[in-house]
Every structure is written in C-alpha cells, then in structure tokens.
Amino acid sequence: NAGVTQTPKFQVLKTGQSMTLQCAQDMNHEYMSWYRQDPGMGLRLIHYSVGAGITDQGEVPNGYNVSRSTTEDFPLRLLSAAPSQTSVYFCASRTPSENTEAFFGQGTRLTVV
Amino acid sequence: AQSVTQLDSHVSVSEGTPVLLRCNYSSSYSPSLFWYVQHPNKGLQLLLKYTSAATLVKGINGFEAEFKKSETSFHLTKPSAHMSDAAEYFCVVSFYTGTASKLTFGTGTRLQVTL
C-alpha cells in the first residue's frame, strides 16, 4: 500500500532556482493539499485541490504554484527559491467529507541557500 | 473562524506516568477533531478522531481523547507513557468553508519521555 508518495526526500537549492516537488496518491482521493512545517508554527496550508483541474490558495501561497491534471498527482512548484522557503513540505490527500482524516506523505526537507 | 490552540509547546513526563496534552478549539459549530503524531523525521500518523459520535475516543497505542463541548476542549491522554511515545503531537480541526473541507493545525506539543 503506497498511500501518499513524495519525492525527493531532501533537496538543497540555491536562491533563485526553481524546482518541483512531486506528490502522488493511489487512494483515489479527490482532495490533495500541500503544507509547510516550520518550528513552532504547526503545518500551514500552501495550496489545495478538490479535484482534477481545480486548485485554490491556502494561507501561505506566495512563491508557490500548483496544478492538478490527474486525480493521482499534485506537484508543487517553487518558482524562484528564497531562503524563507527553507522548510519541510508535506503532501496530503483525503476524501471530501469533513469527517475523514488526511493521509500524509513522508515529507520533503528543502534547504535554500 | 475555526482555530485550535495547543496549550503546551513542550511536555516532559517520566516513563510509566500519565500523559496529558491539552487542546482547545474554536468553532462555530460542532467540529471534527483529530490528533496526529509525528515521530522524528517522519510523516504524520493519525492517532484518533472525533466525529460527533462518542465523546470519549480511543486511538492507537493506548491514547484516548475526550471531547468536551462546554469547555471547547479535546485533550489527549494516556495512562502510562512509554519511551516510544516521545514525538510531536498535533491537534487538528476540520471545517467546511462552503466550497471545501479544510484542516487547521495547532502549533504542536513536543512530548519528552524520560527514564
């Protein structure tokens, strides 16, 4: 059971570089989300999608871009990396019901130097 | 607006003693609430969830939580701590915005278990 798979696990970028964090789920969940985790701040929502072709911004969307062309995949793009984007990134998926839990990937630790 | 407050950023207990991690929520209606655990350098794992059924919810690894509407609380407890319980714990509220269901996370409580 793969669940939610994120790649890469670790990444170091130079300021100004771009990259894509990959996320795939095999549970046929409609909802997918990206969060960033910073010390003392919990997880904050970057972008989310309620289905293929539909995305929306969360609370910290600046500097990130997403698309959802299939149910399974939800990549997160950093357009021009900045040191403030150094963080641990988590992808999650769930069904649309308010009562259901989210399933998380193992995370991507990103350092921008 | 929905929000969740974890009252302690760090809790330290001795092995074999009870664990109490506190969470208060704010919601305009009866929410769905979750507790997740994150072990070092790992992803988040669901411990338990409350979805308006029984107010006392049992989870994995001996943890349980009680939903108290009058106190707007959802505290996590375990009768006897084990070294393997050392981790970060997140209280989470789920709410519906009108277009989508979203999760709001607390800032986390780091549980330290000592011998």
Residues A15-20: contacts with CB under 8 Å, at least 24 apart:
A15/A81, A15/A82, A15/A83, A15/A112, A15/A113, A16/A80, A16/A81, A17/A78, A17/A80, A17/A81, A18/A77, A18/A78, A18/A79, A18/A80, A18/A81, A19/A77, A19/A78, A19/A81, A20/A75, A20/A76, A20/A77, A20/A78
**Residue B49 distance to chain A (closest CA, Å):** 8
Q: How confident is the model at residue A1 (pLDDT cuts 50, 70, 90)?
A: low
pLDDT of residue B99: 72
How far is residue A101's CA from residue B109's CA, in Å, rounded to a whole number? Answer: 20
Among B44, B106, B108, beta carbon nearest to A104: B44
Q: How confident is the model at residue A87 (pLDDT cuts 50, 70, 90)?
A: very high
Please give the sequence-ordered ranges of beta strands (E in DSSP) within A1-113, or none if there are none.
4-7, 10-13, 19-25, 31-37, 43-51, 54-57, 64-66, 76-78, 87-94, 103-104, 108-112
- What's the average model confidence in pLDDT over A33-47? 94
A35: Cβ–Cβ under 8 A, 6 or more apart, which residues? A43, A44, A45, A46, A58, A89, A90, A91, A92, B105
Model confidence pLDDT, tens digit, residues B39-84: 988 889 999 999 877 889 999 999 999 999 899 999 999 999 999 9
Give contacts of A44 with chain B, Cβ < 8 Å: 105
Among B9, B41, B51, beta carbon nearest to A99: B51
How far is residue A85's CA from residue A44's CA, in Å, rounded to a whole number? Answer: 13
pLDDT of residue B115: 92
Q: How confident is the model at residue B10 (pLDDT cuts 50, 70, 90)?
A: very high
How far is residue B55's CA from residue B77's CA, in Å, rounded to a whole number? Answer: 14
pLDDT higher than threshold 70 for residue B4:
yes
Give contacts of B95 with chain A, Cβ < 8 Å: 98
Using CA coordinates, name the residue in chain A closest to B33: A99
How far is residue B2's CA from residue A107's CA, in Å, rounded to a whole number? Answer: 26
pLDDT of residue A2: 75
Mean of pLDDT over chain A: 94
The answer to whether A18 and A80 have CB atoms below 8 angstroms apart is yes
Please name which of B25, B61, B44 lies closest in space to residue A42, comparing C-alpha atoms: B44
Model confidence pLDDT, tens digit, residues A90-108: 999 999 887 889 999 999 9
